[in-house]
Chains A and B, each alone.
Chain A
Amino acid sequence: MSAAQLAELRHTFALDKPVVVQFGDYLLRLAHGDLGVSFQYRTPVLRLILEHLGATVYLVGTATLLAAALGLWLGARTAWRRGGAADRANTAIALTLWSVPTFWLGLILIVVFAVGVGPIPGLFPTGGISAPGVTGIFPVVADRLAHLVLPCLTLVAVLYAQYLLIMRSSLLDEMGEDYLTTARAKGLRDTEVLRRHAVPNALLPTVTLVFLQLGTVVSGAVLVEAVFSWPGLGSLFYQALTVPDLPLLQGLFLFFSASVIVMNLLAELLCPLLDPRVRTG
């Protein structure tokens, strides 16, 4: 590359201006919703983010829903039978999976269930979001779901422990409360006491934490997306890091931070709907 070409490139990306001026320009454009242009793709960063957002929401959204449902359900069960064999086994398994490195678990799942080991055939695709050349509604849906299984499973395995532990501890806090004795005295079955009285109260702190968690999930899927070549924000981030594509990285950081803040706001708005004490207070 000649010196003239380098100078032209520097001029195109405004890198020949002083850093302070560059930053000022960036903020000014940011105020107009312009996140700059990616070095690598030569496309506006905002468009790149929006293009990749769908895949991430599809994967992380599904995984979070499943992990939350599984974690909350198991958490309620383990708290109700605290100290029992099921409680100890469930908590131990969840904590082990939580401690496992995400990329390692993803690779193991690929080796076992996508490549195939011994008698196990390769059941699922090794990566990507869809296979080329599939047509028709049902084949496309089946293909999309088959691609979703392994990355989703990895995320659920790693994520559900937090929901389990949150639910378990909030429910344990409720267990000693007098209104549960009232509920039992009324003649309700234990499962009804749990479902109608204990869980609705234990859900309040849990929902707040789940939403705080949701904000970080968008960025937390980087490793899984990289391992499974999932064309979402995580892969975009990973590729931007290897270049490094500074405008794209900056845009992604902003986007991730914003999603945490938006989720916090949602949690704040949701709490009064669930807890009458917050409504009037």
Chain B
Amino acid sequence: MEQRLRLEAKALLEQGKVSCVIGFEVGSLRFTTTPLITGDRDATGRLVLNPFMANNLSVYLPGIKEKVAVVAKGCDSRSIVSLIQDNKVAREDLVIIGVPCSGIIDLAKVEGLVDKDRDEIDDITRHGDKVLITVNGDKREYPVREVLFDNCLACETPTPQEYDILLGEPTAAAGDESRKAGQEKIARLKAMAPDERWAFWRSEFERCLRCYACRNICPACFCERCFVEETEPTWVMPIPRWQDNLLFQVTRNLHVAGRCTDCGECERACPVAIPLRSLAREMYDIVSELFNYRAGTDKEAPPLLTCYEPTDVEDFIR
């Protein structure tokens, strides 16, 4: 599959169908990948596909001025469709190389499982439903469910629905049990009393540095000027106090409602490990429950908050 990706990418560049390919190459740290953006046909040999390619590459697409090919997993392809819906990128400018995904491995979970730092782990390989972790020559096998990211466990669309080239066979969506595991953190939060929940979020946001990594990595956050940078009026004070941090994040989630595809990039990007996906996914579920709307599944549909139905929910209005 990796070989086919390289050949396809090379052919696209050689035929002049695209001027640039966006994919993954091996990262500088072990068990990581890093985005590869290249117009050089020889560099396509560096493209890889592996269970560590966590990034959502659609974040590079808004504002592109040439034709590009982009590697997309299920969630990424939905982010791309969402950008098409918002007129941020034109479908005809893209060659989407779809990759059916069976989940991305969360290194933090692996570290917790074997109680070793990632540098002390010799190898991590995946075989179907099992993952083989080698530490000091000692091979241990675990169910893959224990090492995948939460959003992968709860994934509804592992196979891209919008693509030009599909590499490999479609993969099945997660089963109920896996989905439940992916939603466990959120279920725990919902079981709390409102005061407890507020106290929880408050303590989480006391850590926030307001580096805006979550916003910058989010493909749905494409505003050219964000409200947090407005100075007249200053909606959010730039000092990272928990009150403003929380206000920023809640508003951000409300602004990307109906665009978020639960790709989990915000939580991965967070340097202080705030469980941001527990916010994003809840918004995703609210939107799907109230409006039966799933972001990035229909490129012809108008974005959620730019349209309405006469029969929309109204029971909360007085």
Q: Do A and B bind each other?
A: no
Residue numbers of A with Cβ under 8 A of B are: none
